[in-house]
Amino acid sequence: MVFGILGAMPEEVDQLCARLSGVTVEDYGGVRYHKGALAGRPVVVCCAGMGKANAAAATQVLITRYGAGQIIFSGIAGNMTDKVGIGDVVIGKTVFYHDAQLDMISQNPPYLTEYTGDPALIAAAEAACTEAGVHYITGRIATGDLFIGDSASKAAIAAKCAPDCVEMEGAAVSQIAAKNGVPCVILRAMSDNADEDGYEVLVVRDFSIAEYVATATRIVAGMIERL
Residues catalogued as catalytic? 12, 192
Residue 215 CA to residue 202 CA, distance in Å, equals 17
Rg (CA), the chain: 16
Neighbours of 20 (CB within 10 A): 17
Residue 188 CA to residue 211 CA, distance in Å, equals 13
Cis ω on the peptide bond leading into residue 119 (within 30° of 0)? Answer: no
One-letter identity of residue 67:
G
Residue 98 CA to residue 171 CA, distance in Å, equals 9
